[in-house]
């Protein structure tokens, strides 16, 4: 299973990437998209919305089910990925490129509190048993 | 411990994602549910439906027994091999199960019932048999596996996979079955496409599956089966109807024959119960996905979605919903999708038939 080493992860299967401009991109992991199956609908948070860590802020729906997406850290929404509206399947095809929203983090060090790739791999493994 | 069909090893070989379905370990998909869906609409796919239970009722007087046991009129079956879709009701008019009955001879009818209902169906039929026709035999056929081959190319690929089937099954009309050696070949299905449901002895099932694979039939999981049947406007037991509702509440009035003197279990209740609910088709006008149990708000009161999904053929969302009688095709209703009211149009269903969008 692919878990990029340069990202941070949550227990609820989001990934977070610190971008060069200081923003943080958020998406769902390969494992999450595999569990959900073919994606058909994505709802991203409105720009300017202030989120606390762990807040429900987006929705992905596969043919099978709807699933909430939680913000990994606190911050303000800078952008939602509008491209996903017409092509939700890109989450299945390349989950780490298909970011759902970008945050301006309240405190970028909050990322340090998330799991790294090794810890996330262990978390996925533990949920499988 | 989940029950396994004789095709379980084939599913593992094909990297299926297996889930618990009514106590059976069944494939939900083999990679992509949506691709499998399109494959059935455009070519030919196959489903392991061995969890469903064939039940043979045999003996003199089987027809008379079935006249009483099921809500549709068994006397519609007059030619050998003809099939009938029907509900089996309890005295109160609620649906015990929906099933298909095949008329093979006056002393042999074959029923196929839902996996999740099989045990209670057998118990129910046994009670009725003792009461009404103690000399009949009712035999569950767990020795048979069942594979559904569905899609516009199902027939030609079945002929290719099983030499000999063409001669016997080619002339067969939809909703008929024929016995071919140890195989039972029915031109029935649950997808809205041409196709077959074939029963074979358990030990032959993996070879038959392999032959179909080699003929280019794609394995499809229960996920695609669900979106295909919903597009085809076919009810699913446990979602669109159950023991708490009648066929009239569930879009199944066409399967109930109230006419004439024939008495069947549940008829009395059906004739007395008010008919104030109906099943309608919905097509979502706003963005999102309709799902089972979402509330529906209409000009005449509230209703509920019984089955809803993204429709791969329509690239939108459709649903079956139970709403007050009086709501009509062309009306607009609202559906509560995670706290937001979204607009949906009441439409005729089936939504898709033989590969073509109808809404």
Residue with tokens 């937001």: B340
Residue with tokens 């802020």: A57
Residues 211-230 of B with CB under 8 A from A: 223, 227
Cβ(B100)–Cβ(B41) below 8 Å: no
Q: Classify residue A97 as left (phi > 0), alpha (psi -120 to 50) or beta.
A: alpha
Q: How many Cβ pairs closer than 8 A exist between chain A and B? A: 37
Domain boundaries, chain A: 8-107
Q: How far is B312 from chain A (nearest CA, A)?
A: 8
Q: Which of B227, B287, B288 sits opposite A63 (nearest CB)?
A: B227
Closest residue in B to A63 (Cα–Cα): B310
* Interface mutation vs chain A, best among B34, B38, B230, B335, most A CBs within 10 Å: B34
**pLDDT at site B350:** 97
**pLDDT at site B180:** 87
Instruction: Please list, in sequence order, all residues whose beta carbon lies within 8 angstroms of the beta carbon of residue B17, skipping any fewer than 6 positions away.
Output: B27, B28, B29, B30, B221
Q: Which of A43, A66, A85 sits opposite B291 (nearest CB)?
A: A66
Which residues in chain A have their CB less than 8 angstroms from residue B32's CB? 37-38, 92
Specify the DSSP element, H or E, that contains B224: helix B222-231
**A52 in reach of chain B (CB within 8 A):** no
Which residues in chain A have their CB less than 8 angstroms from residue B284's CB? none
Q: Which of A61, A63, A66 sits opposite B34 (nearest CB)?
A: A63
**pLDDT at site A1:** 58
Query: A8-107 is classed in which CATH architecture?
Result: Beta Barrel (2.40)
Q: Which of A40, A63, A92 sits opposite B223 (nearest CB)?
A: A63
pLDDT over threshold 90, residue A67: yes
Q: Token digits for B21?
A: 């379905």
Q: Is B315 exposed, middle or buried (0-12, 13-18, 19+ CB in 10 A)?
A: exposed
Q: How far is A11 from chain B (nearest CA, A)?
A: 22
Going from the C-alpha of B52 to that of each of B39, B121, B344, the distances in angstroms are 23, 12, 34
Contact: A63, B338; criterion CB under 8 Å: no
Closest residue in A to B31 (Cα–Cα): A37
Which residues in chain A have their CB less than 8 angstroms from residue B223's CB? 37, 63-64
CA A29 remoteness from chain centre = 7
**A87 in reach of chain B (CB within 8 A):** no
**A35 in reach of chain B (CB within 8 A):** no
d(CA B113, CA B285): 36
Contact: B32, A61; criterion CB under 8 Å: no
What average pLDDT does this structure show over A76-91? 95
**pLDDT at site B111:** 98
Which residues in chain B have their CB less than 8 angstroms from residue A38's CB? 32-34
Contact: A38, B33; criterion CB under 8 Å: yes
Which residues in chain B have their CB less than 8 angstroms from residue A92's CB? 32
Q: Is B62 exposed, middle or buried (0-12, 13-18, 19+ CB in 10 A)?
A: buried
3-state secondary structure of B83: strand
What average pLDDT does this structure show over A22-44? 95
Going from the C-alpha of B195 to that of each of A4, A26, B151, the distances in angstroms are 45, 45, 6
Q: Which of B33, B287, B291 sits opposite A37 (nearest CB)?
A: B33
* Tens-digit pLDDT profile for residues A103-113: 999 999 999 99
State the greatest distance between any 2 C-alpha atoms of chain A, in Å, as a whole number: 40
d(CA B348, CA B35): 26
Please list the ranges in chain B whose pLDDT falls under 50: none
User: Cα Rg for chain A, rounded, in angstroms?
Assistant: 13
Which residues in chain A have their CB less than 8 angstroms from residue B33's CB? 37-38, 63-64
Cβ(B350)–Cβ(B324) below 8 Å: no
Q: Token digits for B124?
A: 């129910």
Q: Which of B28, B223, B289 sits opposite A66 (nearest CB)?
A: B289
Specify the DSSP element, H or E, that contains B48: strand B45-48
Which residues in chain A have their CB less than 8 angstroms from residue B291's CB? 65-66
Cβ(B49)–Cβ(B112) below 8 Å: no
Cα dihedral B231/B88/B66/B349 (nearest 10): -20
For chain B, list the domains and their CATH numbers.
1-246+260-272 (3.30.1360.120), 274-349 (2.40.30.110)
Contact: B33, A41; criterion CB under 8 Å: no
More confident residue, A90 or B171: A90
Q: Token digits for A83?
A: 């491209």
**A59 in reach of chain B (CB within 8 A):** yes
């Amino acid at each position: 299973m692919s878990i990029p080493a340069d990202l941070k992860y949550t227990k609820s299967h989001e990934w977070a990437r610190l971008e060069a401009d200081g923003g943080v991109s958020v998406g769902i992991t390969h494992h999450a998209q595999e569990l959900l199956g073919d994606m058909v609908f994505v709802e991203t948070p409105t720009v300017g919305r202030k989120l606390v860590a762990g807040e429900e802020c987006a929705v992905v729906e596969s043919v099978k089910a709807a699933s909430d997406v939680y913000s990994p850290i606190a911050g303000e929404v800078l952008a939602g990925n509008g491209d996903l509206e017409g092509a939700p399947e890109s989450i299945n095809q390349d989950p780490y490129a298909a970011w759902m929203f970008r945050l301006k983090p309240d405190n970028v060090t909050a990322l340090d509190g998330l799991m790294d790739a090794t810890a996330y791999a262990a978390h996925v493994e533990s949920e499988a048993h | 411990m989940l029950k396994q069909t004789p095709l379980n090893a084939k599913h593992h070989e094909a990297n299926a994602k297996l889930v618990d379905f009514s106590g059976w370990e069944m494939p939900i998909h083999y990679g992509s549910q949506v691709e499998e869906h399109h494959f059935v609409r455009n070519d030919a796919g196959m489903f392991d439906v061995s969890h469903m239970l064939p039940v043979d009722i045999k003996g003199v007087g089987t027809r008379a027994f079935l006249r009483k046991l099921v809500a549709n009129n068994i006397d519609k079956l007059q030619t050998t091999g003809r099939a009938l879709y029907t509900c089996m009701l309890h005295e109160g008019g609620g649906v015990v199960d929906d099933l298909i009955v095949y008329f093979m001879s006056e002393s042999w009818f074959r029923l196929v019932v839902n996996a999740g209902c099989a045990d209670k169906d057998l118990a129910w039929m046994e009670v009725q048999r003792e009461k009404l026709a103690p000399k009949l035999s009712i035999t569950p056929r767990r020795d048979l596996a069942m594979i559904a081959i569905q899609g516009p190319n199902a027939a030609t690929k079945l002929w290719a996979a099983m030499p000999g089937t063409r001669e016997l099954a080619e002339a067969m009309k939809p909703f008929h079955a024929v016995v071919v050696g140890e195989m039972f070949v029915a031109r029935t299905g649950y997808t809205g496409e041409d196709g077959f449901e074939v029963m074979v002895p358990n030990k032959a099932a993996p070879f038959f599956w392999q032959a179909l694979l080699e003929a280019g039939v794609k394995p499809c999981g229960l996920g695609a089966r669900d979106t295909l049947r919903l597009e085809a406007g076919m009810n699913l037991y446990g979602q669109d109807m159950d023991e708490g509702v009648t066929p009239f509440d569930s879009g199944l009035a066409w399967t109930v024959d109230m006419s004439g003197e024939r008495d069947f279990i549940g008829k009395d209740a059906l004739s007395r119960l008010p008919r104030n609910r109906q099943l309608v088709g919905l097509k979502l006008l706003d963005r999102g996905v309709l799902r089972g149990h979402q509330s529906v708000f209409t000009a005449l009161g509230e209703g509920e979605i019984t089955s809803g999904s993204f429709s791969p053929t329509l690239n939108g969302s459709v649903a079956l919903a139970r709403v007050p009688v009086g709501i009509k095709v062309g009306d607009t209703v609202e559906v509560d999708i995670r706290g937001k009211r979204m607009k949906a149009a009441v439409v005729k269903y089936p939504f898709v038939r033989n590969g073509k969008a109808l809404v």
